Amino acid sequence: MEIRDENEKWTTVISPVHGWLHFSLKELWRYRDLIALFVRRDFVAVYKQTILGPLWFLIQPLFSTIVFTVIFGRIANIPTDGIPPMLFYMAGIVSWNYFSSCLTTTSNTFIANANIFGKVYFPRLAVPISVVIVNLMTFVIQFLLFLGFLFYFYWRGVPVHLSGWILLTPLLLGQMGILGLGVGILVSSLTTKYRDLTFVVGFGTQLWMYATPIVYPMSQIPERWQWLYALNPMASLIETFRYAFLGSGSVNLAHLAVSAGMTIFILCAGIVLFSRIEKSFMDTV
């Protein structure tokens, strides 16, 4: 509640919030300058004192793509639906990196920012939201690398086709970021009590990646197991993204609907738990 009496020294009264859910877009918008500060701090600080600097944004997906191409494309000989392995794997890696970075970084929100949370008030969701924005900026850089390879192979006459589903790219990215945010703040809230989860996040994310069609196409999944893959919200997003830019795979609207529903549920559950934990977190540190 804002106080407008000019004779008073304070401008805002902070009072405890009751109930299951405390989420105010208006309050987050009021702290947009702080979010921008977090974004600038995190984006600049990542590779600030490294030799190669911003080149690491490109080196990581490029080397991962080369390794996947050699191991899964040449040695394991996993088919890529007629798409050059470099393009096939890079499309999946760039998309997955955005989601996994949002998840793993936000999953450490409370522990990594305990000192800040204990000294000054601001909406705690500002921190994980800034993480999603930073990772989106990283995605844009890596996405440009992917487009460079895409146009190169297209110029060489490789049969890759852009489809009209490319118009859904902003929605796909938005859902990936929201899903990573939702799962991340869920895990972050639980780690305040169960610190073991901090060791499970990296391992669990890696297992999740192999349960998603990144190193193999959905066409390799038997039809009787397709419904199970629909329960993985990232599976249909990766498949749709790949189809939009490469013409490989297919788009299943039912799977996308299930994915969107699960994403919304996970986000709401994450916000509820996050709101409850932030009230008493400093008492348990």
Compute the distance between CA of residue 271 and CA of residue 183 in angstroms, rounded to an integer.
10
CB distance 245 to 144 below 8 Å: no
Taking alpha carbons only, the member of 62, 57, 26 closest to residue 44 is 57
**HSE-CB for 257 with a 13 A CA cutoff:** 4
pLDDT of residue 177: 94
Q: How confident is the model at residue 2 (pLDDT cuts 50, 70, 90)?
A: very low
List CB contacts of 110: < 8 A, sequence separation 6 or more: 117, 188, 189, 191, 192, 277, 278, 281
Mean pLDDT of the chain: 83
Residue 89 has pLDDT above 80, yes or no: yes
Q: How far is CA 163 from CA 23, 137, 160, in A?
A: 38, 24, 10
pLDDT of residue 267: 92
Structure tokens at 132: 């999603």
Compute the distance between CA of residue 95 and CA of residue 143 in angstroms, rounded to an integer.
8
- pTM for this prediction: 0.86
